[in-house]
Structure 1
Amino acid sequence: MDTSILLFTRDLRVRDNPALAAACRAERVVPLFVLDETILRDAPANRVRFLLDGLADLRESLRGLGGDLVVRRGGTVDEVARLARRTGARSLHLAEERSAFAERRLGALRELDLEVTAHPGVTVVPPGAVTPAGGDHYRVFTPYWHKWSEIRHRPAAETPREVRLPPGLRPGRLPRLADLTSGTPSPRLARGGETAGRERMEAWLKEDAEVYDDVHDDLAAARTSRLSAHLKFGCVSPLELAGVAPEAFRRQLAWRDFHHQVAAAFPDLPRRDYRPRGTRWDGQEDALAAWREGMTGVPIVDAGMRQLRAEGFMHNRARMITASFLTRNLGVDWREGLRHFDRWLADGDVADNAGNWQWVAGTGNDTRPNRVLNPLRQAARFDPDGAYVRAHVPELADVPAPGVHRPWTMRAAPPGYPSPIIDLD
Structure 2
Amino acid sequence: MSVSIALFTGDLRLHDNPSLRGASGSADQVVPLFVVDHAIRDTGFPTPNRAAFLAGCLADLDARLRRTGARLAVRTGDVTEQVREVAAEAGAEQVHIAAGVSGYAQRREERLRRALESDGRLLVVHEAVVTAVAPGAVTPQGKDHYAVFTPYFRRWAEQGVRAPLPAPRRIPGARVRYGSLPSPSSLAAGTPSPTLPEGGETAARRRLGRWLDGPLEGYADGHDDLPGDLTSRLSPYLHFGCLSAAELVHRALALGGAGADAFVRQLAWRDFHHQVLAARPAAAHRDYRTRGDRWRADADEIDAWRAGRTGYPIVDAAMRQLRQEGWMHNRARLLAASFLTKTLYADWRTGARHFQELLVDADVANNQLNWQWAAGTGTDTRPNRVLNPLTQAQRFDPDGSYVRRYVPELAGIPGSAVHRPWRLPAAERAALEYPEPIVDLDVAAARFRRARGLDD
Match of 1:346 in 2: 360
Select the residue among 251, 273, 287 that pairs with 1:273: 287
Separation in structure 1 between the aligned mates of residue 2 and residue 146 of structure 2, nearest angstrom: 41
The question of whether the paired residues in 1 share the 8 Å contact of 2:135 and 2:278 is answered with yes
The question of whether the paired residues in 2 share the 8 Å contact of 1:282 and 1:332 is answered with yes
| Deviation larger for 303-312 or 282-291 | 282-291
Q: Secondary structure of the equivalent of 2:283?
A: coil
The question of whether the paired residues in 1 share the 8 Å contact of 2:47 and 2:189 is answered with no
Match of 2:18 in 1: 18
Match of 2:257 in 1: none
1:314-339 deviation per Cα after TM superposition (whole angstroms, max 9, x unaligned): 00000000000000000100000000
| Deviation larger for 372-381 or 276-285 | 276-285
Separation in structure 2 between the aligned mates of residue 263 and residue 80 of structure 1, nearest angstrom: 27
The question of whether the paired residues in 1 share the 8 Å contact of 2:57 and 2:199 is answered with yes
Match of 2:162 in 1: 154
1:379-406 deviation per Cα after TM superposition (whole angstroms, max 9, x unaligned): 0000000000000000000111222001
Give the 5 Å matches for 1:32-43.
Answer: 32-41=33-42, 42=44, 43=46
The question of whether the paired residues in 1 share the 8 Å contact of 2:218 and 2:230 is answered with no
2:398 is the alignment partner of 1:398: no
The question of whether the paired residues in 2 share the 8 Å contact of 1:21 and 1:158 is answered with no
Match of 2:249 in 1: 242
Q: What is the Cα deviation at residue 65 of structure 1?
A: 0.2
Q: Secondary structure of the equivalent of 1:24?
A: helix
Match of 1:320 in 2: 334
Match of 1:409 in 2: 423
AA paired with 1:415? L
1:46-89 deviation per Cα after TM superposition (whole angstroms, max 9, x unaligned): 00110010000000110000000011111111100111111221
Separation in structure 2 between the aligned mates of residue 106 and residue 207 of structure 1, nearest angstrom: 41
Match of 2:235 in 1: 228
Give the 5 Å matches for 1:14-413.
Answer: 14-25=14-25, 26-41=27-42, 42=44, 43-112=46-115, 113=117, 114-119=121-126, 120-167=128-175, 169-245=176-252, 246-412=260-426, 413=429
The question of whether the paired residues in 1 share the 8 Å contact of 2:284 and 2:365 is answered with yes
2:436 is the alignment partner of 1:419: yes
Separation in structure 2 between the aligned mates of residue 152 and residue 420 of structure 1, nearest angstrom: 48
Q: What is the Cα deviation at residue 170 of structure 1?
A: 2.1
AA paired with 2:133? V
Q: Secondary structure of the equivalent of 1:183?
A: coil
Q: What is the Cα deviation at residue 283 of structure 1?
A: 3.5
Separation in structure 1 between the aligned mates of residue 50 and residue 171 of structure 2, nearest angstrom: 28
Q: Secondary structure of the equivalent of 2:35?
A: strand
Q: What is the Cα deviation at residue 97 of structure 1?
A: 1.9
Q: Compute the RMSD of aligned alpha carbons.
A: 1.1
TM-score in terms of structure 1 length? 0.98
Q: What is the Cα deviation at residue 99 of structure 1?
A: 0.9
Q: What is the Cα deviation at residue 152 of structure 1?
A: 2.5
Q: Secondary structure of the equivalent of 1:142?
A: helix
Provide runs of 4+ in structure 1 moved above 4 Å: none
TM-score in terms of structure 2 length? 0.91
Separation in structure 1 between the aligned mates of residue 103 and residue 113 of structure 2, nearest angstrom: 16
Q: What is the Cα deviation at residue 40 of structure 1?
A: 2.2
Q: What is the Cα deviation at residue 162 of structure 1?
A: 1.4
Separation in structure 2 between the aligned mates of residue 345 and residue 152 of structure 1, nearest angstrom: 30
Greater per-residue helix proportion: 2
Provide the identity percentage: 55
The question of whether the paired residues in 1 share the 8 Å contact of 2:283 and 2:369 is answered with yes
Q: Secondary structure of the equivalent of 2:393?
A: helix
| Deviation larger for 97-106 or 24-33 | 97-106
Q: What is the Cα deviation at residue 159 of structure 1?
A: 1.9
The question of whether the paired residues in 2 share the 8 Å contact of 1:270 and 1:335 is answered with no
Q: What is the Cα deviation at residue 153 of structure 1?
A: 1.9
Q: How many residues align?
A: 424
Gap runs ≥5 in structure 2: 253-259, 443-456
Q: Secondary structure of the equivalent of 2:4?
A: strand
The question of whether the paired residues in 1 share the 8 Å contact of 2:70 and 2:174 is answered with no
Separation in structure 1 between the aligned mates of residue 249 and residue 88 of structure 2, nearest angstrom: 40
Gap runs ≥5 in structure 1: none
Match of 2:445 in 1: none
| Deviation larger for 367-376 or 111-120 | 111-120
Separation in structure 2 between the aligned mates of residue 205 and residue 302 of structure 1, nearest angstrom: 31
1:201-249 deviation per Cα after TM superposition (whole angstroms, max 9, x unaligned): 0001112001101111000011210000000001011111111220100
